Amino acid sequence: KIIQRIEDEGFKISGLRMLHLNKEEAKGFYIIHKDKQFYESLTDFMSSGEIVIMVLEREDAISHWRRVMGVTDPALAEPGTLRQMFGFSIERNALHGSDSPTTAEWEINYFYKKE
């Protein structure tokens, strides 16, 4: 359902991988949050099973994706947003989205390193 919604919103999926992060990989990805109270529980969750990583493209991709996702807390997300539909809590909110082009570049490179 999420992939169908992505396509319905006009995104092109230019990268898609399924993987299981180990704890160190999860910590590396969320390093920006290392001093926050939720860091350990977030990285525990993100390393607890398989995740799907996608690179999405379209005009205004970042702002549009953030609208489609909804706010971080699924309980506060607007009806019809993906987090409202599929999220369980602030930390287990089903989706991630870059907040800027600079962050997107770093995050894409984290998972799609050139070999």
How many Cα neighbours within 13 Å face the side chain of 29?
A: 26
Query: Are 68 and 33 contacting, i.e. CB atoms less than 8 angstroms apart?
Result: no
What is the C-alpha to C-alpha distance for residues 40 and 27, in angstroms, rounded to an integer? 8
Match 């910590």 to its residue by tokens.
Answer: 27
33 is an active site residue: no
The continuous run of DSSP H or E covering 62 comes out as helix 61-69
**Of the listed 20, 33, 64, 96, which one is catalytic?**
96
What is the C-alpha to C-alpha distance for residues 7 and 52, in angstroms, rounded to an integer? 16
What is the C-alpha to C-alpha distance for residues 63 and 67, in angstroms, rounded to an integer? 6
Residues with a known catalytic role: 96
